[in-house]
Amino acid sequence: MIEQGNSLPEATLSQLTADGMQQHQVSELFAGKKVVLFAVPGAFTPTCSEAHLPGYVVLADQIKAKGVDLIACVAVNDAFVMKAWGETQNASELMMLADGDGSFTKALGLEMDTATFGGIRSQRYAMIIENGVVTTLNVEEGKSFEASKAETILALL
């Protein structure tokens, strides 16, 4: 599993925008930026939709005021789902990134097998990244939801 002080692995993440499908290389996307990246097990799922994503939507301005250039949400879903979910959650200040095949999540060592629920998904986590290097990594234990929530990350900034 990735640790604090490690560089992010190389991977491609997708984003559907008004200009069409965008493919982002992780090394380029996070280069020279301070980023808060959080991951959810799945778009439109209960905790993710009722608490995790909304927390970042509400606190986006305060998080950015702490010198954060980009707040990004990633899930092992496709870019169409991530765009639709972002729109329903008014997440215009966040970058909604799709890890469609789970390759980024697996490279981080943060995948989990949810079996018939949805297969390989991401564990719930949040990290602070500076110029592609993880400076803070908060991975949730089991089904808990505390370490990766927006309020926790804001306090660490």
| Residue extents of the structural domains in the chain | 12-156
Burial class (CB in 10 A: 0-12, 13-18, 19+), 89: buried
Catalytic positions: 48
Mean pLDDT throughout 27-33?
Answer: 97
53 confidence band (pLDDT: 50, 70, 90): very high
* Average pLDDT estimate for 72-95: 97
Name the 3-class secondary structure at 110. Answer: coil
Q: Closest by alpha carbon to 128, among 100, 156, 94, 90?
A: 156
pTM, 2 dp: 0.96
User: pLDDT above 90 covers what percent of the chain?
Assistant: 92
Q: What is the CATH number of domain 12-156?
A: 3.40.30.10
Interatomic CA distance for residues 54 and 115, integer angstroms? 27
Sign of the Cα pseudo-torsion (82, 154, 143, 106, in order): positive
